[in-house]
């Protein structure tokens, strides 16, 4: 029973499995029974079957997926083949397949490139289409490739075109399997155009090099590290053939900030930068180069370097310096020209330059003057100068093209007029066109004034000459003709000017024969000399003449001035007669004085000197001053001296008799008077010299003598105090060298205090010893 049930259970389980339910299992009650053991075995078989089935199903599914994938791949391959085929056929490059030397496949482009139809190519030996000189190279490359050697994939050769002969080709080949056999896949590219381009490029390069070589400037390129990477021939010539690879600073001369200045360019600034830099030339000489630098960038905008052109400006700089010096010199010269100077634009007469004198005179600075019109500044006009006033010298200059000079009246800022002599000179451009004018203004105000004064003076002199009460004649030295004569001279000559001018000088001026002129021929000097003048009718007139050489208008002349001395001659004759009488009188006076002095000498010789010495021990060699109120003592002093037999002399305003009476003694007296009395010594109060001479003569004869001067006020009233003081000083000097003395009576009240002190300083107070 149990077995039937177990079998039935087994049948059901197998049926389940057979129907596809692979999870069906038999039940196991325990581990002890045999049926449980069978059941366990069947269950494990079922498990294996289930696992195997699942595995098989999975494999089947995977296979199906693979098949689907294969289908898809096939489809893709088919599409890819179509695309590939289209690509091959539409390629611009020729594509060929070569197998054992024969062309197995060619695309459309190959037909186009070689000019052959496909059927003319397929099956042909590819070498037949290669130019003979390249066949060896192609064969070698092919064999090397077959042997696995390194062969350039791309190279150039020449193929034979069906119609146009040999043509340049670039081929790229690779080994492939074609229809199960090794083959060469070759891409053919027509490089005719490229070759042309290359040829053109070479031409252009040659042209570029020629251009660069013909450029006289240095052209250099540095990389971002400032290393020279390229140079034109001029650069090589300057820096040397080894410049490439050297840093730019290798050639710097002296300290410089060139690197700092080009830093913006290194940072990408695309502006052209100008730099001046001292650089060492290949011969070691420092030269100043002007550089124009521009950044170089690659396609991505990254800075790769700087390209620069440079020019040696050493001489140019020197020239600029010289030019600057020259300009400064010119400016200095212009500024030091003592006249106003401006530069004018001849088109509109605007000022384009001015010197300092002009600026100073117009009290403006250069900026204020520039662009102003000359006529506005100098004439205060709104349009150029014109008739009837000042005409424009620029206008005249433009008409003739030559310098021109005019006199103008200019007005300064302060309103003052200035008469100027305007000289204009043209400044031309390279084409000879007048573009500017030098406008020089010479201040001739003073000259014009002087000319006017000269003219006035001439008029005045003429007037004076014509009204002069002396004759004046001017004679031309060369032909000795009278060329000018004034009214007085004409009157004296008794002829009209018309009759006189043009005559030989000796017709009127002197009776000398020709060639016997006292001045021109005999070289006499005539200065206030008495000569004669000849009148028209032949009379001679005595004249006092002076002749002076002068130059008139460049001609040597003589000016003869003379006065009629006929009247003077007559007076002289009378005076001569009177003079003769006076001489006789003088002789008489001298004789009287002589006799008087002789008497004095005699007295002196007969009187002892010691008495005077005793009476007046300290009175020698001095001038005593006796005031008027002490006049008596002065006389007493003189009287005592006389009594001591000392030679004495009185000089008195009073007549000698009155003086002698007042003194009480008969002594010699000189009378101060304008009278001339016979037998008296008279001296005029004005004739101080004569008085001094009388005193000198007295002391000469009697050195110890004494003189009393009474009449000082009379002398002062005639000659003045200074001359009187001089007389006293003379007396003081005279007696101080002698043993004699003088007594002077003077009323000090007639003098002011200063004069009195001056007299007192020359004298000692007068007194009488023992009296």
From the list 36-44, 98-106, 359-367, 695-703, the region that binds another protein by CB under 8 A is 36-44
| 3 contacts another protein (rule: CB under 8 A) | no
Radius of gyration over alpha carbons of the chain, in Å? 74
Could you tell me the maximum CA-CA distance found in the chain, to the nearest angstrom? Answer: 239
Upper half-sphere CA count for residue 334 (Cβ side, 13 Å): 18
From the list 34-42, 291-299, 568-576, 763-771, the region that binds another protein by CB under 8 A is 34-42
| 185 contacts another protein (rule: CB under 8 A) | no
| 22 contacts another protein (rule: CB under 8 A) | no
Strands 706-710, 555-564: pairing kind: unpaired
Q: How far is CA 386 from the centre of its chain?
A: 35
Upper half-sphere CA count for residue 82 (Cβ side, 13 Å): 5
Would you say 39 or 171 has its CB closer to another protein?
39
| 43 contacts another protein (rule: CB under 8 A) | yes
Contact 709, 716 (CB under 8 A): no
Integer angstrom CA distances of residue 193 from 131, 198, 292: 19, 8, 38
Cα–Cα distance between 770 and 403 in angstroms, integer?
Answer: 105
Rounded least distance, CB 96 to another protein, Å = 57
Rounded least distance, CB 10 to another protein, Å = 14
Rounded least distance, CB 147 to another protein, Å = 49
Rounded least distance, CB 100 to another protein, Å = 54
Cα–Cα distance between 536 and 493 in angstroms, integer?
Answer: 6
Q: What's the distance, Cα to Cα, between the start and end of the chain in Å?
A: 229
Would you say 46 or 626 has its CB closer to another protein?
46
Would you say 51 or 461 has its CB closer to another protein?
51
Query: What residues pair up with 145 in beta bridges, in sequence order?
Result: none
Query: What residues pair up with 484 in beta bridges, in sequence order?
Result: 474
| 38 contacts another protein (rule: CB under 8 A) | yes
| Interface size with another protein, residues (CB under 8 A) | 17
From the list 27-35, 378-386, 391-399, 719-727, the region that binds another protein by CB under 8 A is 27-35
Cα–Cα distance between 624 and 213 in angstroms, integer?
Answer: 122
Would you say 2 or 576 has its CB closer to another protein?
2
Would you say 59 or 569 has its CB closer to another protein?
59
Three-state SS sequence of 222-272: EECCCEEEEECHHHHHHHCCCCCCCEHHHHECCCCCHHHHHHHHHCCCCCC
Would you say 34 or 430 has its CB closer to another protein?
34
| 133 contacts another protein (rule: CB under 8 A) | no
Integer angstrom CA distances of residue 117 from 30, 127, 160, 169, 183: 91, 17, 14, 18, 21
| 44 contacts another protein (rule: CB under 8 A) | yes
From the list 44-52, 212-220, 477-485, 629-637, the region that binds another protein by CB under 8 A is 44-52
Cα–Cα distance between 458 and 463 in angstroms, integer?
Answer: 8
| 33 contacts another protein (rule: CB under 8 A) | yes
Would you say 42 or 346 has its CB closer to another protein?
42
From the list 9-17, 41-49, 444-452, 508-516, the region that binds another protein by CB under 8 A is 41-49
From the list 26-34, 256-264, 300-308, 690-698, the region that binds another protein by CB under 8 A is 26-34
Among positions 4, 34, 478, 513, the unique one binding another protein when judged by CB under 8 A: 34
Cα–Cα distance between 79 and 465 in angstroms, integer?
Answer: 141
Among positions 30, 163, 367, 675, the unique one binding another protein when judged by CB under 8 A: 30
From the list 40-48, 135-143, 148-156, 310-318, the region that binds another protein by CB under 8 A is 40-48
Among positions 14, 16, 22, 36, the unique one binding another protein when judged by CB under 8 A: 36
Cα–Cα distance between 549 and 474 in angstroms, integer?
Answer: 10
Instruction: Identify residues 135-164 at the interface with another protein (CB under 8 A).
Output: none
| 9 contacts another protein (rule: CB under 8 A) | no
Q: Which of 559, 540, 541 is nearest to 550 (CA)?
A: 559
| 31 contacts another protein (rule: CB under 8 A) | yes
Cα–Cα distance between 390 and 294 in angstroms, integer?
Answer: 60
Would you say 21 or 535 has its CB closer to another protein?
21
Rounded least distance, CB 18 to another protein, Å = 20
Beta strands across the sheet bearing 94-99: 102-106, 94-99, 181-190, 165-178, 154-161
Instruction: Identify residues 46-75 at the interface with another protein (CB under 8 A).
Output: 47-48, 51
Handedness of CA 560, 566, 571, 572 (dihedral sign): positive
- In the complex, which residues of this chain contact another protein (CB under 8 A)? 28, 30-34, 36-41, 43-44, 47-48, 51
């Amino acid at each position: 029973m149990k077995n039937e049930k177990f079998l039935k259970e087994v049948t059901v389980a197998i049926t389940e499995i057979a129907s596809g339910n692979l999870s069906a299992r038999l039940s196991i009650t325990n581990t002890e029974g045999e049926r449980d053991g069978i059941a366990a075995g069947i269950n494990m078989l079922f498990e294996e079957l289930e696992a195997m089935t699942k595995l098989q199903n999975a494999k089947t599914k995977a296979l199906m997926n693979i098949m689907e994938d294969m289908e898809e791949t096939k489809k893709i391959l088919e599409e890819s083949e179509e695309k590939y085929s289209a690509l091959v056929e539409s390629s611009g490059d020729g594509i060929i397949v070569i197998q054992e030397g024969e062309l197995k496949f060619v695309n459309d482009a190959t037909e186009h490139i070689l000019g052959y139809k496909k059927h003319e190519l397929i099956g042909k030996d590819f070498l037949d289409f290669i130019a003979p000189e390249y066949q060896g190279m192609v064969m070698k490359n092919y064999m090397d490739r077959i042997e696995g050697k390194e062969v350039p994939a791309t190279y150039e050769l020449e193929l034979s075109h069906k119609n146009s002969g040999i043509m340049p080709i670039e081929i790229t080949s690779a080994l492939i399997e074609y229809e199960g056999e090794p083959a060469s896949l070759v891409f053919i590219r027509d490089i005719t155009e490229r070759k042309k381009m290359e040829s053109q490029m070479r031409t252009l390069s040659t042209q570029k090099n020629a251009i660069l070589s013909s450029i006289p400037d240095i052209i250099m390129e540095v990389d971002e590290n400032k290393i020279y990477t390229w140079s034109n021939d001029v650069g090589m010539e300057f820096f040397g053939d080894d410049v490439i690879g050297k840093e730019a600073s290798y050639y710097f001369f002296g300290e410089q900030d060139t690197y700092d200045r080009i830093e913006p360019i290194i940072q990408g600034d695309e502006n052209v930068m100008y730099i001046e830099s001292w650089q060492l030339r290949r011969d070691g000489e420092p030269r100043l180069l002007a550089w124009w630098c521009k950044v170089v960038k690659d396609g991505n905008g990254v800075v790769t370097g700087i390209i620069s052109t440079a020019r040696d400006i050493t001489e140019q700089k020197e020239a600029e310096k010289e030019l600057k010096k020259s300009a400064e010199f010119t400016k200095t010269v212009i500024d030091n020209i003592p006249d106003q100077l401006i530069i004018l634009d001849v088109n509109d007469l605007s000022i384009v330059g001015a010197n300092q004198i002009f600026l100073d005179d117009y009290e403006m600075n250069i900026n204020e003057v520039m662009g102003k019109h000359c006529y506005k500044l100098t004439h205060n006009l709104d349009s150029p100068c014109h008739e009837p006033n000042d005409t424009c010298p620029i206008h005249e200059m433009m008409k003739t093209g030559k310098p021109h000079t005019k006199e103008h009246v200019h007005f300064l800022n302060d309103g003052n007029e200035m008469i100027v002599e305007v000289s204009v000179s043209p400044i031309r451009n390279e084409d000879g066109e007048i573009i500017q004018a030098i406008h020089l203004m010479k201040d001739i105000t003073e000259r014009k004034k002087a000319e006017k004064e000269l003219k006035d003076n001439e008029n005045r002199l003429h007037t004076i000459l014509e009204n002069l009460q002396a004759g004046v004649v001017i004679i031309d030295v060369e032909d000795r003709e009278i060329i000018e004569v004034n009214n007085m001279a004409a009157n004296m000559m008794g002829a009209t000017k018309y009759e006189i001018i043009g005559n030989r000088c000796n017709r009127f001026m002197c009776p000398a024969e020709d060639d016997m002129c006292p001045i021109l021929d005999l070289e006499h000097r005539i200065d206030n000399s008495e000569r004669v003048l000849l009148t028209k009718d032949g009379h001679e007139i005595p004249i006092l003449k002076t002749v002076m050489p002068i130059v008139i208008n460049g001609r040597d002349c003589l000016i003869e001035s003379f006065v009629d001395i006929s009247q003077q001659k007559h007076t002289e004759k009378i005076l001569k007669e009177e003079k003769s009488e006076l001489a006789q009188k003088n002789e008489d006076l001298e004789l009287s004085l002589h006799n008087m002095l002789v008497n004095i000498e005699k007295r002196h010789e007969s009187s002892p000197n010691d008495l005077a010495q005793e009476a007046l021990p300290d009175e020698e060699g001095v001038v005593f001053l006796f005031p008027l109120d002490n006049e008596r003592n002065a006389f007493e002093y003189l009287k005592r001296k006389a009594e001591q037999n000392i030679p004495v002399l009185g000089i008195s305003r009073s007549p000698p008799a009155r003086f002698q009476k007042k003194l009480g003694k008969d002594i010699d007296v000189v009378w101060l008077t304008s009278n001339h009395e016979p037998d008296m010594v008279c001296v005029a109060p004005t004739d101080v010299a004569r008085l001094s001479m009388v005193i000198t003569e007295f002391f000469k004869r009697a050195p110890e003598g004494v003189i009393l001067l009474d009449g000082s006020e009379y002398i002062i009233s005639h000659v003045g105090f200074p001359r009187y003081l001089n007389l006293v000083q003379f007396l003081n000097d005279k007696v101080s060298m002698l043993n004699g003395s003088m007594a002077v009576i003077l009323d000090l009240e007639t003098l002011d205090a200063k004069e009195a002190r001056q007299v007192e300083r020359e004298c000692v107070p007068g007194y009488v010893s023992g009296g």
